[in-house]
Amino acid sequence: MFSIGEMSRRTGVKVPTIRYYEEIGVLENAGRSAGNQRRYDRAALDRLQFVRHARDLGFSLDDIRSLIALQTRPLQLHTAAAGIAHRQLAAVRDRIGRLKRLEAELERIAGACDGTDTCDGAAFGECAVLQAMADHSRCEGRHG
């Protein structure tokens, strides 16, 4: 049996987050010791490690809840789990695309000035970085 502190140490999940996971049903409510302390078994530790890994992969708590529920429905397990994983992969690829556009725009802006007061294209007393940020004509689209 594990205390909530031991669960936290073993998984890297903070104690308040473990309590929250119990509250929303992602983690089953812990049994209690005679002193009313939460006590978790190995299955709870395994579940918390699963949740932590899924969160690290960017899965929402709703998707994690669905994946956990699928473990008890073997006929739906493979198709539904694959669908959730593919949806998450598409979301990550979309974010990567946005980040690449953001990187290109920031390279353009940062490249407008070398940090001296003699930047190319800027009038005396003007900042080339601020001018580049204001120039949306060279922006390659939405990057936010």
- CATH code matching the domain that covers 1-59, chosen among 1.10.260.40, 1.10.1660.10, 3.30.420.40, 1.20.120.1810: 1.10.1660.10
Q: Tell me if 63 sits within 8 A of 88, measured CB to CB.
A: yes
Identity at 52, one-letter amino acid code: R
* Domain range list for the chain: 1-59
45-79 pLDDT per residue, tens = 999 999 999 999 999 999 999 998 888 887 777 88
Encoded tokens for 120 = 């190319």
- The predicted model scores a pTM of 0.72
87-132 pLDDT per residue, tens = 999 999 999 999 999 898 888 888 777 766 556 555 555 777 777 7
Would you give the distance in Å from CA 1 to the centre of its chain?
Answer: 30
Helices 42-56 and 4-11: angle between axes, nearest 10 degrees = 40
pLDDT grade for 30, boundaries at 50, 70 and 90: confident
User: Residue 81 is inside which H or E element, if any?
Assistant: helix 74-110
Question: Is residue 134 predicted with pLDDT exceeding 90?
Answer: no
Q: What are phi and psi of 32, to 5 degrees?
A: -120, 145
